[in-house]
């Protein structure tokens, strides 16, 4: 078939939706969500169902030593590296029906549609399932795409244990997904991940497609402020070294820094106060700061503003400040050609779209270390995710799947 007929390809919205609802029965919760934690019996059932569907669609299956699954639809030239899409089937304990699962089943729907149209691609097409994306049962998150991307070793991946001491390696063997294939070293022509946005922007702006540019950089800080515990009644205001007052001003500082560096975000989410007594001026406060920005240079400026602001606030109050950067995850920028393919696919399908940066981590972020990557976001209701009420419209999911198909077919042509 010529590439002209790409325009005629349409995925089957009802089949995609029915598959999502069928998968959601495995680990279904009372409140309409899903609890399918990584490498549990339920995860095995979900994997088995996916593998069966892929075999029914004529795919061959490869499982690697981290339990990542690759379902392959052959191309005309099977010496070419495949164009791959995928996401994850595991969920949070009170997770939804779409986070991750949409990206996996959208890939399957692309293959089913190409089969319907007897549409051949030059390069093979693959759908991948990445093990333990959520990081709920086994930390850290995205462990298996991380091993694939060379961020973690296989030994490290296998040795991660849950709270009962069961390791990923043991649990992969137990459920029959400790595969033979090496992890990584599997060239991809391109990798796409379709995902619900997990944020409110697309819905608020009535855009159907988010053309994802990358994942924002993250810095975590730990701050300890030391003043002096003192009697709340007898210590005059001008004699205090109030660590809590300094902390309060720094919470406001973090907020102002984010507003000065939009679309950056800043959060103080954890605080402990010592001695935490109603009639004692707090002598010690510990808190965390989470700063994020799509560009590392801007994130560095936010850090500098935090350090300068902290020195000024604490100096004025006679409070000592210990501020440590404990984690830095640099911004990830996706491949320009993959980004363009997604935008073109959305434009050609007449779908309202906008460029967007992911606020959350995704498997695609680690895959971007070893392959050209693009991502497609679709709206979810009120931006809510990691929650049983997570919800998305069948037509938006279908639109995202059509964009995925067009982008993949263009690159596999
Ligand atoms: Zn996800």
pLDDT in tens, 386-413: 999 999 999 999 999 999 999 999 999 9
Pairing of strands 69-73, 60-63: antiparallel
Share of the chain above pLDDT 70, in %: 99
CA distances from 42 to 38, 185, 260 (A): 8, 29, 46
The alpha carbon of 321 and the centre of ligand 1 are apart by a number of angstroms equal to 37
Q: For residues 292 and 315, give the distance between their C-alpha atoms in angstroms, rounded to a whole number.
A: 26
What integer pLDDT is reported at residue 318 of this predicted model?
97
What integer pLDDT is reported at residue 402 of this predicted model?
98
Q: What is the secondary structure of 245-267 as a DSSP string?
A: HHHHHHHHHHHHHHHHTTT-EEE
In tens, the pLDDT along 326-371 reads 989 899 999 999 999 999 999 999 999 999 999 999 999 999 999 9
The alpha carbon of 33 and the centre of ligand 1 are apart by a number of angstroms equal to 14
- Coil, strand, or helix at residue 217? strand
- Coil, strand, or helix at residue 226? strand
The alpha carbon of 35 and the centre of ligand 1 are apart by a number of angstroms equal to 14
> Residue 323: which H helix or E strand, with range?
strand 320-329
Are 223 and 287 within 8 A, CB to CB? yes
Pairing of strands 217-226, 353-358: unpaired
> Residue 313: which H helix or E strand, with range?
helix 296-317
Q: Answer whether residue 101 shows pLDDT above 80.
A: yes
Residue 65: φ, ψ to 5°:
-75, -5
Q: For residues 195 and 202, give the distance between their C-alpha atoms in angstroms, rounded to a whole number.
A: 12
The alpha carbon of 98 and the centre of ligand 1 are apart by a number of angstroms equal to 8
Q: For residues 55 and 22, give the distance between their C-alpha atoms in angstroms, rounded to a whole number.
A: 17
What integer pLDDT is reported at residue 198 of this predicted model?
95
- Sorted by sequence, the CB contacts under 8 Å of residue 25 that are 6+ apart come out as none
- Sorted by sequence, the CB contacts under 8 Å of residue 331 that are 6+ apart come out as 214, 215, 216, 217, 293, 294, 295, 296, 299
CA distances from 206 to 200, 323, 396 (A): 10, 41, 11
Q: Answer whether residue 6 shows pLDDT above 90.
A: no
CA distances from 247 to 52, 126, 240, 284, 325 (A): 55, 51, 14, 10, 17
Share of the chain above pLDDT 90, in %: 97
Q: Nearest to residue 331, comparing CAs of 184, 203, 222, 212?
A: 212
The alpha carbon of 44 and the centre of ligand 1 are apart by a number of angstroms equal to 18
Q: For residues 94 and 387, give the distance between their C-alpha atoms in angstroms, rounded to a whole number.
A: 6
> Residue 301: which H helix or E strand, with range?
helix 296-317
Q: How confident is the model at residue 157 (pLDDT cuts 50, 70, 90)?
A: very high
What integer pLDDT is reported at residue 2 of this predicted model?
47
Q: For residues 360 and 193, give the distance between their C-alpha atoms in angstroms, rounded to a whole number.
A: 13
Q: Answer whether residue 294 shows pLDDT above 90.
A: yes
- Sorted by sequence, the CB contacts under 8 Å of residue 1 that are 6+ apart come out as 117, 118, 119, 120
What integer pLDDT is reported at residue 99 of this predicted model?
97
Task: Note the residue count of the chain.
Answer: 413
- Strands (DSSP E) along 147-254, which ranges? 190-196, 209-215, 217-226, 230-231
Q: Answer whether residue 3 shows pLDDT above 90.
A: no
The alpha carbon of 179 and the centre of ligand 1 are apart by a number of angstroms equal to 23
Q: Answer whether residue 234 shows pLDDT above 90.
A: yes
Are 197 and 378 within 8 A, CB to CB? yes
pTM higher than 0.85: yes
Q: What is the mean pLDDT of the chain?
A: 96
**Bridge partners, 286 (sequence order):** 224, 272
The alpha carbon of 195 and the centre of ligand 1 are apart by a number of angstroms equal to 7
- Sorted by sequence, the CB contacts under 8 Å of residue 51 that are 6+ apart come out as 61, 69, 71
- Taking residues 320-324, report their average pLDDT: 98
The alpha carbon of 99 and the centre of ligand 1 are apart by a number of angstroms equal to 5
- Sorted by sequence, the CB contacts under 8 Å of residue 352 that are 6+ apart come out as 206, 207, 208, 209
Distance of CA 245 to the CA centre of its chain: 36
- Taking residues 77-101, report their average pLDDT: 97
The alpha carbon of 358 and the centre of ligand 1 are apart by a number of angstroms equal to 11
The alpha carbon of 92 and the centre of ligand 1 are apart by a number of angstroms equal to 10
The alpha carbon of 76 and the centre of ligand 1 are apart by a number of angstroms equal to 32
What integer pLDDT is reported at residue 1 of this predicted model?
45
The alpha carbon of 88 and the centre of ligand 1 are apart by a number of angstroms equal to 6
């Amino acid at each position: 078939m010529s590439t002209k007929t790409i325009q005629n390809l349409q995925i089957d919205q009802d089949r995609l939706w029915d598959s999502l609802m069928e998968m959601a029965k495995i680990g279904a919760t009372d409140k309409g969500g899903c609890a399918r934690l990584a490498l549990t019996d339920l995860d095995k059932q979900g994997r088995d169902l996916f593998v069966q569907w892929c075999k029914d669609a004529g795919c061959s299956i490869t499982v690697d030593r981290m339990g990542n699954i690759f379902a392959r639809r052959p191309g005309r030239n099977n010496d070419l590296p495949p164009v791959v899409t995928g996401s994850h089937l595991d969920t949070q304990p009170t997770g939804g029906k779409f986070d991750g699962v949409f990206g996996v089943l959208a890939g399957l729907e692309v293959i089913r549609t190409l089969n319907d149209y007897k549409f051949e691609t030059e390069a093979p097409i693959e759908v991948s399932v990445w093990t333990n994306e959520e990081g709920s049962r086994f930390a850290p998150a995205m462990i298996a795409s991380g091993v694939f991307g060379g961020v973690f070793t296989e030994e490290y991946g296998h040795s991660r244990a849950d709270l009962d001491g069961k390791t990923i390696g043991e649990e992969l063997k137990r459920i029959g997904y400790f595969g033979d294939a090496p992890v990584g070293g599997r060239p991809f022509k391109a990798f796409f991940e379709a995902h619900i946005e997990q944020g409110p922007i697309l819905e608020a702006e009535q855009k159907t497609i988010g053309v994802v540019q990358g994942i924002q950089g993250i810095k975590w800080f730990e701050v300890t402020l030391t003043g002096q515990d003192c009697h709340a009644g007898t210590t005059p205001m001008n004699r205090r070294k109030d660590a809590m007052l300094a902390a309060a001003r720094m919470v406001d500082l973090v907020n102002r820094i984010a507003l000065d560096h939009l679309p950056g975000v800043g959060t103080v989410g954890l605080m402990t106060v010592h001695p935490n007594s109603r009639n004692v001026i707090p002598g010690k406060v510990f808190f965390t700061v989470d700063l994020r920005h799509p560009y590392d240079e801007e994130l560095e400026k936010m850090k500098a503003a935090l350090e300068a602001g902290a020195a000024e606030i604490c100096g004025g109050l006679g409070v000592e400040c210990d501020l440590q950067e404990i984690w830095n995850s640099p911004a990830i920028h996706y491949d320009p050609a993959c980004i363009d393919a997604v935008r073109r696919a959305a434009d050609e399908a007449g779908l309202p779209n906008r460029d967007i940066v992911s606020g959350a981590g995704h498997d695609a972020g680690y895959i971007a270390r070893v392959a050209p990557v693009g991502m497609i976001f679709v709206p979810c209701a009120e931006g809510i995710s990691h929650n049983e009420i997570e919800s998305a419209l069948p037509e938006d999911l279908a639109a995202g799947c059509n964009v995925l198909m067009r982008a993949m077919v263009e690159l596999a042509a």
